[in-house]
A and B are shown apart, each in its own frame.
Chain A
Amino acid sequence: MKGIFYLAWRYLAYNRWKTSILVGSIMLIIYLPVGLNVVVEESGEHLMARAEATPLLVGAKGSPLELVLNSLYFSLETPELMDYAAASSIIESGLAKAIPLYVRFRSREQPIVGTSIEYFGFRDLQLASGRLPALLGECVLGAAAALELGVAVGDSVVSSPETAFDLAGIYPLKMSVVGLLAPNFTPDDDAIFIDVKTAWVIEGLGHGHQDLARPEAASAVLRRSEDGIVANASVVQFNEISESNIDTFHFHGDLGGYPLTAVVAVPNDQKSGVILMGRYVDGEAQSQIIRPNDVVDDLLDTILTIQQFIVAAVIIVAIATIATAALVFLLSLRLRRREIDTIGKIGGGRWQVASMLLTEVVIVLILGSSLALGLTVLTWRYGSTIIERFVLT
């Protein structure tokens, strides 16, 4: 048997292109439906775990899926904005803890998540170094974000402008990195976390500027009187919040009207959750409340349906591929007639020849299956990360 295996292996190795194509075809036939299933299952579990960990999500009326994708996976698409007052109203109701989210800005490819300090405990995020944000302008990075941006505690990151030409709009803000999170294997790893008020500063809703009483600010002063100092639009605004200028930072108007993309509501108990949801049932309500679980469930159902179609298509292709491979094999037998005759003449029996040919087929199947298994294992390990990084965000 060793001799037969050796001959079969030498044949396959010599005809490496043909062997590679056959192995590749077998690999794909097996991997596509299996790998797809693994991706869908793994991603589904991952998505669902994240959704299950988020009891309720409040947002402006609109697409629930967009709200979930932006709030849980920090997708690029920003949902309709809502007022910060919604978060206050949830807290004041005493029914739930409210964690604001403002996920709109980026620093290069990393999402900037404006939130409150309670987010870290809610998501059970652990610090690898440094500390949590304490002041305006400070940020904490997820493990992958820190790696991607090449920063450590003590460095800084800059928010990216939304457009190059909106000079009066969102401008870059330099933020100090005060902490790095340990890997969490969730979208939090890719995020830059700041206080929601820092996000408002990025948007220009909060700002700090020169002390108009100082001589350096003279050009910004229109007039001085007993009632005060009137400044003009040339007053210098700071694009970095530091110890020396943080006291100049302020917000105008009622913070309740400031924007959020969502509020995570963590009900005190089931009854509180039901009552809270009831408050948003009214068609006149400006906001919607959703269970991320339900939204992700619907999404997974859709993915499953698509998956079934793909698997059916793959099975049809697989049948065609197997038939083609069988034809190729039979044709190659005709081409190998002389070789088979030679082996027969020298002393190899029909059984030996058949074993050799069968062994070639088995080796191809084993190689193809093994590669498919290897790919499946890799998919199981990294598939959901790829989905999150390249599909959801």
Chain B
Amino acid sequence: MRAGFGLLLMSMMLACTPESSRESALTTETASSGTLSIYTVNYPLAYMADRIVGSRGDVSFPAPPDVDPATWSPGPETIIDYQQADLILLNGAGYAAWVTNASLPRSRLVDTTARIADRLIPIESSVTHSHGPTGDHSHSGTAFTTWLDLEIAIEQARAVLDALVRTRPKHEEEFRQAFTDLEAEFRDIDTKLVAATKRLDSQPVLFSHPVYQYFERRYKVNGYAVHWEPDALPVTALWVQLKAVLREHPAKIMIWESDPLPETRRRLMELGIVSVVMRPGGNKPAEGDLLDLLQKGIAALEGATKI
């Protein structure tokens, strides 16, 4: 009896030893020194970040090359990669809707157009419905190819700079110098775009898709956007619609985000419309970089306005 009680007491004492087993550490926290890990939602931001951070960071933009990052939705594993980054650069203006439905560390998100929200261009969407406690509402949005206004692109780059300086203040000088160099190149492009679009002299212009709002506003282009896919021959109805548009908006140039089909190009020529490719550059180009892309666009526009 006595022995039994003693055993009971001992086992109670042993049971009270707190458990202290730990799994391998999990953290979404990142190191405060060392190479920065930067993730972006589109190529232009990746380009800007890469130019400014230089060797102090690794920039990742994991969207596959054949997708439009504006509508791309990464899988959970890719989102986990984003979560581990030191900085996550967002375009803002509703670009990359997947961000809204993803779990990202708020303190490491950088909305590169947050400070210039008043300069963003709102657009009305197509669905109005009534449900839930709030009653009638529609899905309104914002134009998101912000970098096509090079002044906004500079502001976005500045937001990237500020984030980098906040995160790695000891490299501030280095970052600022890199930003200054980039800003100068952006200004050069901006000047060339001003000159190239000036030659349009307010002539009406068509856009294959409504993705040139910022370009249109900054460079005072008299544009009208249709919804034509470069890799698809427009159906008859679209040509009929186009002719109706041309009656009010007699454009001679149509700006495409990528090469249209030769047949489309030919039929447009029959209507007196020259096709000009100005790639917005949301995703990484097969060759060259963002500046090369913009330069090519300027060259194409210049070529069309000489005609």
Contacts and interface: CB of A to CB of B under 8 A. Distances in A.
Given A134-B79, A250-B139, A233 B131 contact: yes
A178 B26 contact: no
B12 A231 contact: no
B270 to A, nearest CB: 27
Interface in A81-139: 87, 91, 94, 97-100, 116-118, 120-121, 124-128, 131-136, 138
Interface string B122-154: 001111111111100111000000000000000
Contact of A132 (B5, B83, B101, B127): B83
B170 interface: no
Contacts of B66: none
Contacts of B77: 134
Interface stretch (A273-281, A315-323, A352-360, A377-385): A377-385
A183 B22 CA distance: 9
Contacts of A346: none
Residue of B9, B105, B138, B166 contacting most chain A CB atoms (<10 Å): B105
Given A232-B130, A235-B131, A195 B103 contact: yes
A235 B15 CA distance: 57
B288 interface: no
Interface of A, secondary structure class, is: mixed
B8 to A, nearest CB: 8
Contacts of B129: 209, 212, 220, 230-233, 235
B21 to A, nearest CB: 8
A373 interface: yes
A231 B127 contact: yes
Contact of B79 (A98, A135, A370): A135
Contacts, number: 142
Nearest to B81: A134
B103 A116 contact: yes
A252 interface: yes
B102 interface: yes
B19 A183 contact: yes
A365 B76 CA distance: 63
B10 to A, nearest CB: 11
Contact of B104 (A98, A117, A168, A237): A117
B80 interface: yes
B100 interface: yes
B97 interface: yes
B103 A117 contact: yes
A374 B12 contact: yes
A197 B130 contact: no
B31 to A, nearest CB: 12
A231 B15 CA distance: 63
Interface in B62-112: 73, 76-77, 79-80, 83, 97-98, 100-107
A385 to B, nearest CB: 12
Contact of B26 (A120, A250, A374): A120
Given A133-B103, A135-B103, A229 B16 contact: no
12 contacts: A116-B105, A121-B27, A134-B79, A135-B103, A136-B102, A207-B132, A230-B128, A233-B130, A235-B129, A237-B132, A251-B100, A378-B12
Given A195-B103, A231-B128, A247-B101, 10 more contacts: A94-B166, A121-B27, A132-B26, A134-B79, A183-B19, A207-B131, A230-B128, A247-B97, A252-B134, A252-B137
Interface of A: 9, 87, 91, 94, 97-100, 116-118, 120-121, 124-128, 131-136, 138, 168-169, 178, 182-183, 185, 195, 197, 204, 207, 209, 212, 220, 227-233, 235, 237, 246-247, 249-253, 370, 373-374, 377-378, 380-381
